[in-house]
Amino acid sequence: MTSHVRFPEVSTRYGFLHKRPFNGTDFLQHGLLEEFADRLVFGVSVFHAYGHNWACQLVFHPRKRDGFGLTDGEGCERFWSAIRRLIPGLRVSGFHRRLFVIDQQVDFMQAHGMWGLGKWLLKRHNEAKTRGEAAAARLDNGPVGAIGRTELAEQWEAQLTTQLQTLPRQSESAGDKAIDDVMLALGRLDELKAEKKECNKKLLRVEKLTPTEASEAQSRLIATEDEIRRTKVTLENLRTALGAGAAQKWESLRGDAYLRARINARRLRAVIRSSLQSHKFEREKLERSYRNQVMRAAEQKEHSQVKDLVHRREKNVAGQVRRFNALVDQMTLLVKQGKAPKRKMVLPRRLDSKKLFKLDVDDDIWQEDPGLGAQDEGDLPRWQTEQDVKDGIVLLLEERRCREELERIEAEVRALGLWWEEERARFAAFMSDDWSSGS
């Protein structure tokens, strides 16, 4: 492998982006690239990183990891987009003709791109400079500027240390876990009853529904009633399984509406995060289907099915977000009414469904919510509770990545200049030799 990978400079570090977390241990176990192990950095391509949990993104996301600049690792996707026009013709071509056409297209793209390389580097340089200056301006002024880069860097390191630790169990004992299960079942039962009420309300206006809508509402009502019965059986079994101590604690907590809403909100937030990860992979499949489709009925059918699946997932996630925000509103009201536990409470943050589908790596959904964590920890860290600190950390990382990108582009410009001088010298030597032989 070392014959195909060249590492010309001893001090240079090299980054590899992959679609899954990878730290090079596979290479080292087989004795590959051992002499370069301390100079290799691995990460996950930007658009693949969102399918991984938050701790993985903290380590492998190129916007969080030192050394990657503004590189996104999606060069293969752009290359595929550039050659997709060849697909219809190559489907009916032989193996060797297919290789020949692809080679010719790649050579053309390389030659064409070489003449525009200077403009491309200038565009990347200006973009990195503009973004870096904008981040630096906010870091030097306003509420974020008052915090300072040193404090922001310390808060970022504290966030890494905390969120990369193995999470403690939410329950201190099996009894607490059983109580959580009972409360979750109660919350699910409330949701099902509300859904049943909605179905009945819709069926009261059956004359305004189409036959298809009426049939769907009736089927949904039957399914909801079945699930209500199953949930009641599960709930009764859970209550019966409670030990003596847990049963006594349950009796003291069963009327605590705040605790019940908090447990259900924590569960629902985990479901939303999982749904977004699934949505990301489904959308990736849709994009792949769109790239691959030709005028064939089967592919058109697959494309429409995946498209419907993605839209259905978006509706489901939006509904989950509405239920989560309703629980947050309920907790807020209980605090105002003095029905929350008698200690300093941190309320959960509401979610915005429109922002969620942008898959922003710094969105609140991917970070821990202090309002849903342990409530008896005393003072919570600034990176978790202060919005200015959270914004400042994002700006600090943006400034670092832009600085790295400018260094990389300047190195590319120097290499391009050296290459151009060598080419011009060769051309001058060729013309001189040709002129001499001609005279």
- Is 19 found in the same domain as 41? yes
What tokens were used for 179? 């109580």
- Is 227 found in the same domain as 102? no
- Is 377 found in the same domain as 287? yes
Report how many domains make up the chain: 2
* Overall pTM > 0.75: no
- Is 253 found in the same domain as 280? yes
Residue 120 identity: W
- Is 256 found in the same domain as 372? yes
Q: How confident is the model over 244-268, as pLDDT tens digits?
A: 555 555 655 555 677 777 777 877 7
| Domain carrying residue 97 | 14-165+395-438
Tell me which residue has tokens 């629902």. Answer: 268
> Cβ–Cβ contacts within 10 Å for residue 181, how many?
18
- Is 156 found in the same domain as 23? yes
CA distance 399 to 406: 11
Question: What end-to-end distance do the CA atoms of the chain give, in Å?
Answer: 50
Give the dihedral of Cα atoms 413, 415, 419, 420; nearest 10 deg: 20
Q: How confident is the model over 33-67, as pLDDT tens digits?
A: 666 667 777 777 765 555 556 667 777 778 888 88
- Is 150 found in the same domain as 291? no
In a domain, 301, yes or no: yes
Specify the pLDDT at position 375: 42
What tokens were used for 73? 């690792």
Q: How confident is the model over 421-438, as pLDDT tens digits?
A: 998 898 888 888 766 665
CA distance 291 to 77: 10
CA distance 37 to 143: 42
- Is 337 found in the same domain as 243? yes
CA distance 434 to 436: 5
136 pLDDT tier (thresholds 50, 70, 90): very high
- Is 124 found in the same domain as 188? no
- Of 198, 134, 136, 160, which is closest to residue 64 (Cα–Cα)? 160
DSSP codes of every residue in 123-148: HHHHHHHHHHHHHHHHHHSHHHHHH-
Greatest CA separation for the chain: 109
- Is 122 found in the same domain as 206? no
CA distance 431 to 427: 6
According to DSSP, the residues that pair with 15 across neighbouring strands are 41
Specify the pLDDT at position 80: 77
> Cβ–Cβ contacts within 10 Å for residue 261, how many?
23
- Is 124 found in the same domain as 25? yes
Mean residue pLDDT of the chain comes to: 74
In a domain, 400, yes or no: yes
- Is 330 found in the same domain as 187? yes
CA distance 57 to 361: 8
CA distance 197 to 183: 21
In a domain, 8, yes or no: no
What tokens were used for 246? 């847990």
Q: How confident is the model over 58-113, as pLDDT tens digits?
A: 777 788 888 888 887 767 677 778 888 888 888 888 889 999 998 998 888 888 88
In a domain, 148, yes or no: yes
CA distance 395 to 156: 11
In a domain, 256, yes or no: yes
Reply yes or no on whether the pLDDT at 194 is more than 80. Answer: yes
Mapped onto helix, strand or coil, the DSSP state of residue 94 is: coil
Specify the pLDDT at position 127: 92
